[in-house]
C-alpha cells in the first residue's frame, strides 16, 4: 500500500462513504466523494441497532435522526402468527443505550450526506471511472474523470475508497475473490399504510411457512418485507409486485397483520445476499461498507456495519503516514464472520428452537437458572452487542450448539425437539 496519504477519492455517496468523508475531512485530508444523485424510492436497512447510537453521537447527528424517526425500544420475534417473544433492549444489561431508531432511509441518508457537505467535503455528481495503471492491482481515475473534476487532486488521489455499496465497483472491476453465503434468497419489500398498528415501535421479525418477514414501524407507515427462496416465489406471479402482493394475501401470518393495508410505494427487490470480498485492500485502494461485505437484513446489522467500517477505516488511515490496511482487513473479515454465525442460527432454526424450549421449560430448575441468561444474551444479538462481548459469544455458541444437541437427544429435555429452520 502507498503511504503518506493526503488525498482520498471516495466512490459512493451513501452513509458509509459520507461518514468516512466527514471523519477524514475532520482530520485534514483532502477528500472528494463521487456519487449519483438518483436513489431508489425506499432502501433496505431502515431499522437501526443500539450499537450505532454512539457513532451517531460522535458524528453529531443523533438529534436530527431522532426528529424524523420512530423510537425503537426492542425487537419482537414470532415463531408463528400467534407466538411472540419480545426483548426490550434494556434486557441486554450491556453498555449500549437501551434504544435505537427506525429510520426512513431517504431522510437518514440525506442527514449523513448533508453533514459532510456542511463540514466542507467536496462532492462530484458523476461516476468515478477507474482504470488499471499497469502496476499490479494499482488503480487510477480515468483521464475523463480527472478532467470532469477540474483536476481537484492535482493529479491522481493517493487513495481510492470503494464505498459504492452492493454495486461493489472495485470488486467487480478487479474480479476479486468473494465468499458467498449458502442462502440465495430474494428480499421484496414496500411501505404500507393501514396495517395493524405496532406499539411500542419494536421491529417485528416473523418466521413464515416459507421464508421470513419483517415489519418496521416508521412515521405514518410500516415497512413490510419478505425474505424468501426465489423458487417459492415462482407460483405467486410474474412480476415482483404480483409476487409480493399475492404472497402477503396467502401467507397466514402476513395476512393477519397486513390484510387491511395498502402499498404506498413500489415493491423493491434485493437479491445479492451474503457476499464478502476476501481482499479488502490493494496497492492504492480499499473497500468499506457493503462494497466489502454484506450479510443479510436479519438483525439489522447492515447500516451499523457500514458506518462502523467507516470509523474503523478512518482510524486505520490515522494521520496518513502509515495506514495499517492489513489489520483493517483482518478486523473486517473477522467481524463479518462472527455476524455470519449469528445469521446462520436464525436460518438453521436454532434461535426459534430456543425460544420454544424457553417457553416450555421456564418452570423447571434448569429453566429458572438459564432463563435470565437466555434473555440477556439473546437480547444482545438484537442490540448489536453480542458479537463484541466474549462471554455473550461463548454463551450463544453453547446454547445454539452443544446444549441444543443434548436437548435433542433427550438428555436435558423430555420432549422431542426439532429445529424450526427457515425454508
Residue 373 belongs to some domain of the structure: yes
Q: pLDDT tens, 216-234?
A: 999 999 999 999 999 999 8
Kindly state whether residues 150 and 12 are assigned to the same domain. Answer: yes
Kindly state whether residues 148 and 197 are assigned to the same domain. Answer: no
Kindly state whether residues 249 and 108 are assigned to the same domain. Answer: no
Domain boundary among 251, 270, 289: 270
Can you tell me the distance from the alpha carbon of 366 to that of 414, in angstroms, rounded to the nearest whole number?
13
Kindly state whether residues 221 and 132 are assigned to the same domain. Answer: no
Read off the CATH number of the domain in which 215 is found.
3.30.9.100
Q: pLDDT tens, 372-395?
A: 787 888 899 899 999 898 888 888
Kindly state whether residues 283 and 153 are assigned to the same domain. Answer: yes
Other Cβ atoms less than 10 A from the Cβ of 151: the count is 10
Residue 48 is given by DSSP the state -
Residue 396: its pLDDT value, please?
83
180: which strand partners? 275
Residue 258 belongs to some domain of the structure: yes
Closest listed residue to residue 191, CA positions, set 102, 305, 294, 67: 102
Kindly state whether residues 136 and 229 are assigned to the same domain. Answer: no
Read off the CATH number of the domain in which 24 is found.
3.50.50.60
Domain housing 213: 186-270
Domain boundary among 339, 366, 391: 339
| Degrees to nearest 5, angle at CA 339 with 211 and 11 | 95
Residue 349: its pLDDT value, please?
84
CA distances from 393 to 54, 328, 335, 376, 401 (A): 21, 22, 12, 12, 12
Kindly state whether residues 259 and 224 are assigned to the same domain. Answer: yes
> Phi then psi for 180, rounded to 5 degrees?
-105, 140
Residues with Cβ < 8 Å from 127, sequence gap 6 or more? 34, 36, 145
Residue 151 belongs to some domain of the structure: yes
3-class secondary structure for 225-290? EEEECHHHHHHHCCCHHHHHHHHHHHCHHHHHHHCCCEECCCCEEECCCCEEECCCECCCEEECHH
The total number of structural domains in the chain stands at 3
As given in the structure block, the three cell numbers for residue 282 are 490493494
Domain boundary among 249, 270, 291: 270
Kindly state whether residues 374 and 331 are assigned to the same domain. Answer: no
Torsion of CA 329, 334, 340, 341, to 10 degrees: 170
Kindly state whether residues 384 and 402 are assigned to the same domain. Answer: yes
Kindly state whether residues 32 and 132 are assigned to the same domain. Answer: yes
Kindly state whether residues 283 and 255 are assigned to the same domain. Answer: no
Reduced to 3 states, what is the DSSP secondary structure of residue 415?
coil
Please give the distance of CA 229 from its chain centroid, rounded to a whole number: 19
141: which strand partners? 130
Residue 406: its pLDDT value, please?
65
Residue 298 belongs to some domain of the structure: yes
Residue 414: its pLDDT value, please?
45
> Phi then psi for 84, rounded to 5 degrees?
-120, 140
Residue 409: its pLDDT value, please?
56
Reduced to 3 states, what is the DSSP secondary structure of residue 87?
strand
Report residues of the chain scoring pLDDT below 50.
411-415
Can you tell me the distance from the alpha carbon of 356 to that of 365, in angstroms, rounded to the nearest whole number?
17
Residue 156 belongs to some domain of the structure: yes
Can you tell me the distance from the alpha carbon of 157 to that of 174, in angstroms, rounded to the nearest whole number?
19
Confirm if 257 and 248 have CB atoms less than 8 A apart. Answer: no
Closest listed residue to residue 207, CA positions, set 158, 256, 253: 253
Kindly state whether residues 203 and 237 are assigned to the same domain. Answer: yes
In terms of Cβ atoms closer than 10 Å to its own Cβ (0-12, 13-18, 19+), residue 311 is: middle
Residue 284 belongs to some domain of the structure: yes
Residue 168 belongs to some domain of the structure: yes
Residue 133 belongs to some domain of the structure: yes
Amino acid at each position: 500500500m502507498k503511504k503518506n496519504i493526503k488525498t482520498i477519492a471516495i466512490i459512493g455517496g451513501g452513509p458509509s462513504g459520507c461518514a468516512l468523508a466527514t471523519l477524514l475531512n475532520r482530520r485534514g485530508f483532502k477528500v472528494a466523494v463521487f456519487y449519483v444523485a438518483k436513489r431508489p424510492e425506499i432502501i433496505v436497512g431502515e431499522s437501526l441497532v443500539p450499537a450505532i447510537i454512539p457513532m451517531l453521537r460522535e458524528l453529531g447527528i443523533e438529534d436530527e435522526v431522532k426528529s424524523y424517526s420512530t423510537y425503537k425500544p426492542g425487537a419482537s420475534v414470532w415463531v408463528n402468527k400467534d407466538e411472540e417473544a419480545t426483548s426490550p433492549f434494556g434486557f441486554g444489561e450491556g453498555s449500549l443505550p437501551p434504544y435505537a431508531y427506525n429510520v426512513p432511509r431517504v431522510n437518514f441518508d440525506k442527514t449523513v450526506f448533508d453533514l459532510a457537505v456542511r463540514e466542507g467535503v467536496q462532492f462530484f455528481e458523476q461516476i468515478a471511472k477507474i482504470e488499471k495503471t499497469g502496476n499490479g492491482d494499482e488503480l487510477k481515475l480515468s483521464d475523463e474523470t480527472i478532467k470532469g473534476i477540474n483536476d481537484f487532486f492535482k493529479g491522481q488521489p493517493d487513495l481510492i475508497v470503494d464505498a459504492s455499496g452492493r454495486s461493489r465497483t472495485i470488486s467487480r472491476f478487479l474480479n476479486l475473490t468473494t465468499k458467498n453465503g449458502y442462502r440465495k434468497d430474494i428480499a421484496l419489500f414496500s411501505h404500507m399504510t393501514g396495517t395493524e398498528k405496532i406499539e411500542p415501535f419494536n421491529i417485528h421479525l416473523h418466521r413464515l411457512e416459507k421464508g421470513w418477514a419483517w415489519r418496521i414501524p416508521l412515521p405514518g407507515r410500516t415497512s413490510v418485507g419478505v425474505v424468501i427462496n426465489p423458487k417459492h416465489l415462482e407460483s405467486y406471479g410474474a412480476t415482483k409486485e404480483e409476487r409480493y402482493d399475492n404472497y402477503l394475501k396467502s401467507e397466514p401470518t402476513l395476512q393477519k397483520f397486513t390484510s387491511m393495508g395498502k402499498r404506498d410505494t413500489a415493491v423493491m427487490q434485493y437479491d445479492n445476499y451474503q457476499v464478502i470480498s476476501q481482499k479488502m485492500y490493494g496497492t492504492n485502494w480499499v473497500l468499506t461498507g457493503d462494497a466489502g461485505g454484506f450479510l443479510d437484513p436479519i438483525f439489522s446489522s447492515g447500516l451499523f456495519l457500514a458506518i462502523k467500517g467507516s470509523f474503523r477505516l478512518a482510524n486505520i488511515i490515522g494521520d496518513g503516514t502509515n495506514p495499517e490496511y492489513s489489520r483493517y482487513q483482518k478486523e473486517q473479515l473477522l467481524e463479518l464472520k462472527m455476524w455470519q454465525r449469528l445469521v446462520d442460527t436464525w436460518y438453521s432454526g436454532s434461535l426459534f428452537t430456543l425460544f420454544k424450549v424457553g417457553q416450555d421449560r421456564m418452570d423447571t430448575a434448569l429453566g429458572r437458572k438459564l432463563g435470565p441468561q437466555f434473555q440477556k444474551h439473546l437480547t444482545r444479538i438484537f442490540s448489536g452487542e453480542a458479537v463484541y462481548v466474549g462471554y455473550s459469544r461463548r454463551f450463544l455458541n453453547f446454547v445454539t450448539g452443544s446444549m441444543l444437541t443434548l436437548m435433542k437427544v433427550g438428555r436435558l429435555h423430555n420432549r422431542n425437539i426439532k429445529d424450526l429452520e427457515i425454508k
